[in-house]
Structure 1
Amino acid sequence: MLTARQRLQALPVLLALLTLCLALPAASPARASSARHPVVLVHGYNADPGVWGALRADLRAAGYSDAELFSFGYDTHQSVNEVLAGRLGAYVDQVRRETGAARVDVVAHSFGSLVSRWYVKFGGGAAAVDHWVSLAGPNRGTSTAWACALWDQACRDMTPGSYVVKNLNSGDETPGAVKYATFWSNCDEVVNPDDSVPLTGAANTPVGCLGHNDLLGDDATSAGVRAFLSS
């Protein structure tokens, strides 16, 4: 039997154990939220990270914190395969280091789809990306890119039959264990033909008659992206 003095000496230990036990249940939600991947947003040609304002707001409303949302900014007039895909890869590695996440989700608009696809297919991104989303991406090229192809490398990369387009669509269009999705409009004034966007092996979603940039702020498209990221 413990003496009164021994009981008093044991009291701090008992209190510490009680505090630890009470703290354990609170750890469960943190473990659950860690299953969600950070999201890397990749803008399109002649754009900047500011285009993601609406989607970022929707993702925050869905429970993402600012520490889980990242926007890759880059010079959109450079080569997909020689420059930009590698820079995106370095950025994704930085995000993974900062967050401790093994994988990220990528959402790309327009030209950003080619940059991020090259990174996934040829730059090691298949091991670092869990979900990949293309909004109005010229995945099989677009005839409108001929208008600037004479002086702009990125435009040349977007033309139908370019080195970039041919290689991205050779063999498996959606390689690895990455989950792929595309969202496309039948009224897209930039991506021609409209069916350049869908990919074999991806979840391809038509969004109706929307302008090329309208997909960035469309509520139904945003809901579809959020549902896909949570799948």
Structure 2
Amino acid sequence: MRRLARAAVVVTAALAAFGTAAPAAAESPTDRITTLVDTYKPEVMNPGGSLPGVNDWGCKPSAEHPNPVVLVHGTFGNQQINWGAMAPRIKDAGYCVYALNYGVNPGTPWPLSAFGGLTRMQDSAQELSVFVDRVLAASGAQKVDFVGHSQGTLMPNYYVKFLDGAPKVDKYISLAPLWEGTDAVGPLAAGTDAAADPVTQAAGELMDRYCGACSQMTAGSPFIEKMNAGGTYAPGVEYTNIMTEYDGTVVPWTAGYVEGPDTTNIVVQDGCPQDHSDHSSLVSSVRAQALVLNALDPAHPVAVPCVAVQPFAG
């Protein structure tokens, strides 16, 4: 989480700086999105908005793809930053695609308001519940499919397991999941010996104030223990976990590799060792995009490319 916090500071400065430059009128917010850095373009060009084709409340699902797809971003992300590469691919495949911003600290101005996934996950799950009901009402669908990244793989399961969400969810696809939590927080985690140090304790308290979700994602936290009590997965929901061995934020990366009924675990390096996608760059990976499409519609698989990818920063 410390890596994510540092990245957020850098990106905040970049968003503020880039936001002062007017984009070319003919340029689409999703033009040339091929890297993680490119995914910040839509937020700069349309602060607080939605990606083209996403959150089209008049979209009616087809018989081939009856479930709307709800994209759930990660910590310090939002619907545009996280999904600028993935959303067009899913939309072009014929799905109705929706995405929400959740967990934004109240009263924060842009560019700080561009960062969500910060409030307690119980509260974010309530936001997700309201959003799913809105999607179902607008689309006329019976269920949605989730595609989530990072915290967006864990928080929705609170909705599924504890807010009566399971009957409304069919497929649950997770990019860089952390079902068993992460050790990346290190000495800031409450209960560690280092956390008793006054400076470290103050840093931990500051993190909890501005990112209530961060400590919840720590391995062994009460939230993680509750989420795994009685089994990680909810009956009746089909789970797919897509992981990378180069994940530097979910530590160890195998925290997302949990066996279960109706569950498929995929490691992007299996069959493609030159793919060094890490926690952040996984959402922009063409290999991950194909794996997501195949999880959404296993009866009509697309080819899964193997491309050499260099890691970003996590």
Do these two structures clear the TM 0.5 threshold for a shared fold by scoring above it?
yes
Deviation of residue 61 (structure 1)? Answer: 2.4
1:114 aligned onto 2:154: yes
Q: What residue number does 2:47 align with?
A: none
Q: What residue number does 2:297 align with?
A: 230
CA distance in 2, matches of 1:73, 1:166: 26
1:205 aligned onto 2:266: yes
1:143 aligned onto 2:183: yes
Q: What residue number does 2:66 align with?
A: 36
Aligned residues: 197
1:72 counterpart letter in structure 2: L
2:83 counterpart letter in structure 1: W
CA distance in 2, matches of 1:92, 1:61: 21
CA distance in 2, matches of 1:137, 1:148: 21
Deviation of residue 147 (structure 1)? Answer: 6.1
1:70 aligned onto 2:101: no
Structure showing greater Rg: 1
Q: What residue number does 1:178 align with?
A: 237
Please state whether the residue corresponding to 1:130 is helix, strand or coil: strand
What's the C-alpha RMSD, in Å, of the aligned pairs?
1.6
Deviation of residue 77 (structure 1)? Answer: 1.6
CA distance in 2, matches of 1:193, 1:102: 36
Asked whether the equivalents of residues 146 and 156 of structure 1 are also in contact (C-alpha less than 8 Å), the reply is no
CA distance in 2, matches of 1:147, 1:116: 27
CA distance in 1, matches of 2:83, 2:181: 23
CA distance in 2, matches of 1:175, 1:166: 15
CA distance in 1, matches of 2:148, 2:118: 16
% identical equivalent positions: 33
CA distance in 1, matches of 2:165, 2:139: 17
CA distance in 1, matches of 2:163, 2:232: 15
Please state whether the residue corresponding to 1:204 is helix, strand or coil: strand
Structure 1: segments with no counterpart, 5+ residues? 1-29
Q: What residue number does 2:170 align with?
A: 130
CA distance in 2, matches of 1:146, 1:69: 36
Deviation of residue 44 (structure 1)? Answer: 0.3
Runs of 4+ in 1 over 3 A off after TM superposition: 146-149
Q: What residue number does 1:103 align with?
A: 143
Q: What residue number does 2:75 align with?
A: 45
2:264 counterpart letter in structure 1: A
CA distance in 2, matches of 1:32, 1:147: 51
Q: What residue number does 2:283 align with?
A: 216
CA distance in 2, matches of 1:138, 1:192: 9
1:57 aligned onto 2:88: yes
1:157 counterpart letter in structure 2: Q
Asked whether the equivalents of residues 179 and 232 of structure 2 are also in contact (C-alpha less than 8 Å), the reply is no
Deviation of residue 146 (structure 1)? Answer: 4.0
Q: Which has a greater percent of helix?
A: 1
Deviation of residue 42 (structure 1)? Answer: 0.4
Distance 1:146 1:104, change over 3 A: same
Please state whether the residue corresponding to 1:108 is helix, strand or coil: strand
CA distance in 2, matches of 1:148, 1:103: 39
Deviation of residue 179 (structure 1)? Answer: 0.5
Choose which of 161, 166, 182 in structure 1 pairs with 2:220.
161
Asked whether the equivalents of residues 174 and 199 of structure 1 are also in contact (C-alpha less than 8 Å), the reply is no
Q: Deviations over 1:72-99 (max 9, x none)?
A: 1112221112x11111111101110111
Distance 1:62 1:31, change over 3 A: closer
1:63 counterpart letter in structure 2: G
